[in-house]
A and B are shown apart, each in its own frame.
Chain A
Amino acid sequence: MKEVKIMKVINEMSMSFLSRSSNESFARGAISSFIAQLDPTIDELADIKTAISEAVTNCIVHAYNNGIGTIYITSKIFDNGKVSIKIRDKGCGIEDIAQAMEPLFTTAGGERAGLGFAVMQSFMDKLKVISKKGKGTTITMEKNIIRRPIRNE
């Protein structure tokens, strides 16, 4: 018999902030402080920070088109070490998600590399994008933080 394990949420946080570019570092800093309780490795933390930075930048540059709106983030920690991060905006929405997710595709011009979703996909274990034109976009990312035994020395 296969044992079915139901994951429990052991901690949760939510925050919202304005889509100002100075909040990019605030957002990745806040979430990494929250996740620090799982004792992630420097690499795991760097992956998560980078993915958040990409997602929040997308909200600022694309969803709100450099105007001012609100970005909502909820993060959950599960009892098996999994972390989920949901980033939501009420911006313009994505017309073609598949195209937006193609590496190097960008509608932003300037010096945007078109790598946002590619980074989120490759640095996180799971990425889900839900978008409605004119209503906004919600992305949910998950990463499993490898549990290491606590050493009492």
Chain B
Amino acid sequence: MGVKIISQDNVMIASLDGEIDHHTAKDIRENIDFEVNMRHPKLLILDFAKIQFMDSSGIGLIMGRYKIMKTLSGKLKVTNASAYMNKIIRLSGLGALGVLDEGSENYEGHK
């Protein structure tokens, strides 16, 4: 499991790699939060392109970062979530927060 974080201007991109479960979520969370607290970005993007597995711990991870970005008056976006991840995201009702990028939100239409 790895997190690669790139920051430019007010945008921070955290590219996640591997599997998200209760065990790995802790490290991912700590890595991201450390950078966010240091740089206070206006936009945090979680890139799920390289995620091979995710259980509901991924939902907790998204929700937690959403709350942090809100307290910083910033925004959170989740990008490149696979069809399989969207199944879990839909179940959680997270879609209503508007954090998913357009490609992900459209998924329901072409199941």
Contacts and interface: CB of A to CB of B under 8 A. Distances in A.
Interface residues of B toward A: which range? 20 to 34
Q: Tell me whether chain A's interface is mostly helix, strand or loop, or mixed.
A: helix
Chain A contact-residue range equals 20 to 34
B64 interface: yes
Nearest to B53: A49
Main SS class of interface, B: helix
A25 interface: yes
B93 to A, nearest CB: 8
A24 to B, nearest CB: 5
Given A57-B55, A119-B55, A113 B23 contact: no
Contacts of B56: 54, 112-113, 115-116, 118-119
Given A24-B21, A25-B19, A50 B61 contact: no
A87 to B, nearest CB: 14
A110 to B, nearest CB: 8
Interface of A: 21-22, 24-25, 28, 43, 46, 49-50, 53-54, 57, 60-61, 103-104, 110-113, 115-116, 118-119, 122-123
Interface of B: 19, 21-23, 25, 29, 53-57, 59-61, 63-64, 84, 87-88, 91-93
